Chains A and B, each alone.
Chain A
């Protein structure tokens, strides 16, 4: 567990407010331990900036263990950086080389406007869930948990989709800023499970309509989203969403 130290140049997007122009600014950061997480490295940068009297870099983060979905950095042009299945907070500096210049940007997508520096507004995702990403069951209405068996294989498939952390990397990675992977993960989970059946058709239609309304782009099956997804949600769910959508359009009595 011996640690090497890196000297880095950080090229960071700075933007004071949503309607103001932003710019890249370069910062030297020396003596970065390879055991640090990427966000810990940014903490160290911010301490350095505060000492120098410069306003620290704003970035979203919370759990720092890869599950809350709050962190959202484009690192050298890749959403959450170079590692597969990894959020920015779980990326470690051992992945970088001494002397490297690292470019750090916010998610780039029209439906995710920048609030400040690296912080963006992702409330569009909440509105998509509001459009139908749920099962309409009031508290107290539930039958016994074992009354409807769910085959283990189906449950595992649903869980694969439900693992989505809602971070928005799929949108940021997509050249069209499409939210199809995010939307398909919820549509897929609930269409696989018996509990999601009664609202199956309306759910997919309403969620897709909201997605379009928010201004997300179309899916052109490039699969960049899957490559960037920290929860490793598969594009197979997009295929399922398309089937669900088609079926709902053609056959549902809604």
Chain B
């Protein structure tokens, strides 16, 4: 199934006390003097929070930046859909927060599977992010006196989340987008929209460029640079149904993996507890209802199995507020992995509600009685509105029905402390890397990480690389470029030539269902062992029977999708192998064989306290596992308890 490499991955975490590592490292890194920065070029792929902030900040420093996105405008990257908020340890509410506590909560929330030094740096720079965004004109919620407001989020017992109504991601992304547009206007950044990355150019073992397809006219373009920064998001759409945007895909990351970049911890996937349930087999995506709703909403199911009465008819004594019952100290604010599994446990046991029985209630009755409907509307108005649009039910009157759905992926390309992958010159930022969330991400931490990587980490670490590396000039007709371009071209031709009977979507749905059933919220050895050959079969079928109509030299959405699904077909196998190899339960990875009597995850620190970095050996061939041991010098891994 896989082979274990004898070497260990070097995280390049600097020495010294945790609190001083980043400061010390910043001093030790080489600088590129301002006049020389214009001699270097950097490619940034993806323009979400990580890519947008990185491209803008690198442009401001004076580098020549080329930024790419597959959407029609960089403002549309999927970061825009993040609802709830962004964490920072400002301690404005005076409720006992500190950088150390944010660090500790994030490490614990990640079930002790993240790298201490990265997480501490994240907690340190989080405060700067808030300041930066305020300066850009991001309209964060304010108190009457004009100071910044905070709310609480899952996995924390204090209020440290900054927010813009239910559309924080939108406002933060527009802040980064506007900074990026400003750099475009100065000429420091060249923006390439509607371009999809199809290959990485690697020359002498160093990442030097990319091959992209111009989505509007099908032309393949080669772009070279001194470094490539990948900010292409997560792979949640391997499940077909997820809260991700339809275009989110693993292709850019997977293409880098195929060229030598290690893929770390792909089995760490986050299933978000509060999403609108599936309503039919035409369903194209799932919609998240922000976790912030759990501040005021109470989650329950009927106490009696198969109770089909309308929720309003079920008296208080016959309701089971199972999160409050099982986790009295965190209650409805238990972390995502735990809340999702608790919902699955109740519905599997036959207590689910709604037509399919695959849903639980999220009830605002008590909050409306306590604070009034207006107060609830002010906090969550747009979310309630969205819920009503989708379900045609009024959540002010009847409780929302929710169910867990794939939302975020903690795994991603392996990076060191500088956010560089094992391929020199290839940096990976935001959700696309694996670095900061361990096996489970806490709410309001994704925005924090994307912006931390882009605004406050890459501008320093990339300078060190450029200043200390001799890079020969690389022209577009260098064999490394032409061969990468030819690979991309051949693959597109192959997809168009199959001319089979089944649509791309039908294959994607089938793959997604397989992954959800056997590699979703709960996993078993037998299930995973049976799934891997089925993924292979499906992949073979795909290449024999997929139907992609139209041509390659025009806008062709089926062709775009086909390329993405082909990569998901390969990636899915690695995800399953990783899930099979990790014989423990931690965070979003729950192996049924490893649980306590009351159904809590059992971690096995003696065997699995490491990052699993997978090396590609050809599609269908056993990958090689490179381990990065996780060393905890500052927090002692303990059994995570939210009881």
- A residues near B (Cβ < 8 Å) are 1, 3, 16-17, 33, 35-37, 39-40, 43-44, 46-47, 50-51, 53-56, 58, 60-70, 83, 85-86, 90, 92, 94, 115-116, 119, 121-123, 125-126, 129-131, 133-146, 148-152, 155, 158-159, 162-163, 165-166, 189-190, 193, 195-196
Contact indicator B246/A134 (Cβ below 8 Å) = no
Tell me which residues across on chain B come within 8 A of A55, comparing CB atoms: 549-550
Asked if B472 lies at the interface with its beta carbon under 8 angstroms from chain A, I say no
- Docked Cα-Cα span, A56 to B355, in Å, equals 33
Tell me which residues across on chain A come within 8 A of B455, comparing CB atoms: 139
Q: How far is the CB of A80 from chain B (nearest CB, A)?
A: 12
Q: How far is the CB of B78 from chain A (nearest CB, A)?
A: 6
Known contacts A126-B191, A152-B142, A163-B167: A56-B459 contact under CB 8 Å:
no
- Complex: chain B residue closest to A49, CB-CB: B549
Q: How far is the CB of B248 from chain A (nearest CB, A)?
A: 8
Asked if B609 lies at the interface with its beta carbon under 8 angstroms from chain A, I say no
Interface centre among A46, A86, A135 (most CB of B within 10 A): A135
Contact indicator A149/B279 (Cβ below 8 Å) = no
Q: Known A-B contacts: A126-B191, A189-B137. Give 12 more (CB < 8 A).
A: A62-B246, A64-B246, A68-B71, A126-B73, A130-B181, A142-B128, A146-B148, A155-B139, A155-B140, A158-B139, A159-B171, A163-B167
Q: How far is the CB of A34 from chain B (nearest CB, A)?
A: 9
- Docked Cα-Cα span, A254 to B554, in Å, equals 46
Tell me which residues across on chain A come within 8 A of B170, comparing CB atoms: 67, 163, 165
Contact indicator B71/A16 (Cβ below 8 Å) = no
Asked if B92 lies at the interface with its beta carbon under 8 angstroms from chain A, I say yes
Surface stretch bound by A, among B8-16, B199-207, B283-291, B304-312: B283-291
- B residues near A (Cβ < 8 Å) are 53, 56-57, 60, 71-76, 78, 80-81, 90, 92, 128, 130-137, 139-148, 164-165, 167, 169-171, 174, 177-179, 181-182, 184-185, 191, 193, 216, 245-247, 279-280, 282-285, 287-288, 354-355, 385-386, 389-392, 455-456, 459, 503, 505-506, 547, 549-550, 554-558
Contact indicator B135/A65 (Cβ below 8 Å) = no
Contact indicator B280/A3 (Cβ below 8 Å) = yes
Known contacts A36-B280, A62-B78: A92-B247 contact under CB 8 Å:
no
Known contacts A33-B282, A146-B92: A122-B72 contact under CB 8 Å:
yes
Known contacts A67-B167, A145-B134, A158-B139: A133-B181 contact under CB 8 Å:
yes
Tell me which residues across on chain A come within 8 A of B141, comparing CB atoms: 155
Contact indicator B136/A135 (Cβ below 8 Å) = yes
The binding surface of chain A is classed by DSSP as loop
Interface centre among A47, A53, A65, A193 (most CB of B within 10 A): A65
Q: How far is the CB of B275 from chain A (nearest CB, A)?
A: 11
Tell me which residues across on chain B come within 8 A of A141, comparing CB atoms: 135
Contact indicator B135/A166 (Cβ below 8 Å) = no
Contact indicator B283/A62 (Cβ below 8 Å) = no
Tell me which residues across on chain A come within 8 A of B390, comparing CB atoms: 37, 90, 92
Contact indicator A121/B72 (Cβ below 8 Å) = yes
Contact indicator A68/B549 (Cβ below 8 Å) = no
Known contacts A62-B71, A134-B182, A139-B459: A40-B386 contact under CB 8 Å:
no
Contact indicator A131/B185 (Cβ below 8 Å) = yes
Known contacts A35-B279, A50-B558, A123-B72: A67-B389 contact under CB 8 Å:
no
Known contacts A3-B280, A137-B136, A145-B90: A68-B245 contact under CB 8 Å:
yes
